[in-house]
Structure 1
């Protein structure tokens, strides 16, 4: 397949104003911990003082399962943890991801060109678009920072300010807006002592009597996401997926049951175009998109080096190796801008 074809395909799909779907790979590019590093952090830093004997037994079993090489999500499904122990795992997760997030924010203050996403959004808004939807499974605020760097208003389900409360998308109507639908919660969302969810920006520690509103993998994930604000956020994400003319997936592994069903229905039944850029295509992505019945796809992963890419396209039977970086967001931008 000649170079021109996949570039033309990338531009054609991009021209349909994609909904952007971001997974952990998008944040890993900035040094955020993945599941492996998070698992080791949980083993070392989860506070288990004062737990009952059965809870301590469950915790030991959980650590053994992780040490045996089972991934974090599977381990959290295998071991039944009490509400108290789950809460402690959530707090330990929050402390690691939040410290890394704040470090990236500090670095971004010195480097206004840090976020490739800023360039992408800026370019998308050069059209008649007034609204861009981004759906993410990440807790971090890198998308928000990317918006801030180019002076674009973003909406995550809350009012603006320092003590933010849940509100409708229509409450903010600037000329241009990025909706960020965080289906697993965010570092700045907390359950207040009153029981409602509020958002508190860039704080280094969890306030007393507040609980982080992030959904860790495992059995609790299903219970939690049926409650507010997750239920409304997932509904908005579903609506964005349903209305989309195309999709751009950045570092997304196709392993999330909150995004998958609607996304795949659109790609399979309605042949909605999808572009995937990632360090390495997950097994799920290969199975659902490349080996599945997706009609219009362009998937690009890293080759043997950073300066090599492997391109999978619905226009070509075999993958093509390209001696340039088009698998990262920065590299992908060279195809479309």
Structure 2
């Protein structure tokens, strides 16, 4: 009976046409490097230019060695402009080849992206827009939308050299809005000072700088600039206008997304579904506080074929056989 109740609740939230929130866990499923691998890469590849930079970089490495995660270490130590640019470039150089490999792998498998199935399923209704809000730099959401056969909008026009544009610049009967609040691997500041989108390139063009918001203090100042400011406003609007949210691998550790989500769920009783490998401490605190009236959270059990379910309709967590914690497993439950 408990399984049946959970099934009905999951179906109910899904039928409300949720906005989708993608966290780092959504990319980890495709073997893209996470914060740990990025920290290792940065330590091995970045060089300080002078004594003051060396002192700051050694302090950063000491923070990592003491057990702090990458974001905490970069918050603790203020890096020079040169070191900050190196962090951005080295991050791009690590993730871009991995991202492109995912794209190549998807070309021969029509069911490669569970997100494609989700997009197609949501568009079987009368809705003509799907909102995806993400902190990820990678282009997996864009690839998934195209594999499903739908156009997407990321804040730019279409083409090989894309310019910033408002949402109504891309007109189609159905569209996936992919709102990347921390930037994207294909965003670059140009020599003209604007930000453009360049598709599937192997190297950073001369006099261009990747526009991705890496962890640390600078992430908050950079997001006041374009195109981040406009994208965050669109993401806020997408969250406000929806009453149901499907979070995939999102840990509720990012101020640019979580505040509006928390407000909608606590003050307006919006429904939220979270599927993930493991609930983060912030997720547990938020969902299990007793202030969220409509939620389902599913994490992996002791194996891939076991799920632990937390629900506003259950007094205590429930362990069940079956993969409901991954996106593909969850979709088998609701579609």
**Map of 2:21 onto structure 1:** 21
TM-score by length of 2: 0.99
**Map of 1:169 onto structure 2:** 167
* Distance in 2 between residues matched to 1:25 and 1:204, nearest whole Å: 25
Could you report, residue by residue, the CA deviation over 1:277-322 in whole angstroms, capped at 9, with x for unpaired residues? 0000000000011224111000000000000000000001100001
Q: Does 1:206 align with 2:165?
A: no
Q: Does 1:81 align with 2:79?
A: yes
**Map of 1:123 onto structure 2:** 121
2:177 to 176, 179, 182: 179
How much has 1:57 moved relative to structure 2? 1.2
1:192 to 181, 190, 193: 190
How many residues align? The count is 335
Q: Secondary structure at the match of 1:258?
A: helix
* Distance in 1 between residues matched to 2:288 and 2:298, nearest whole Å: 11
**Map of 2:61 onto structure 1:** 63
Q: Secondary structure at the match of 1:111?
A: coil
- Per mean C-alpha deviation after superposition, the further-off stretch among 288-297 and 196-205 is 288-297
How much has 1:65 moved relative to structure 2? 1.4
**Map of 2:3 onto structure 1:** 3
* Distance in 1 between residues matched to 2:251 and 2:202, nearest whole Å: 29
2:241 to 224, 240, 243: 243
How much has 1:67 moved relative to structure 2? 2.2
**Map of 2:35 onto structure 1:** 35
* Distance in 2 between residues matched to 1:208 and 1:67, nearest whole Å: 35
**Map of 1:287 onto structure 2:** 285
Structure 2 gap ranges (5+):
none
TM-score by length of 1: 0.98
1:233 to 225, 231, 234: 231
Could you report, residue by residue, the CA deviation over 1:199-245 in whole angstroms, capped at 9, with x for unpaired residues? 00111111110000000111001100000000000000000000002
**Alignment of structure 1 residues 253-264 onto 2, 5 Å:** 253-264=251-262
* Distance in 1 between residues matched to 2:290 and 2:138, nearest whole Å: 31
**Map of 2:45 onto structure 1:** 45
* Distance in 2 between residues matched to 1:174 and 1:184, nearest whole Å: 26
Structure 1 gap ranges (5+):
none
Q: CA RMSD in A?
A: 0.9
Q: Secondary structure at the match of 1:206?
A: coil
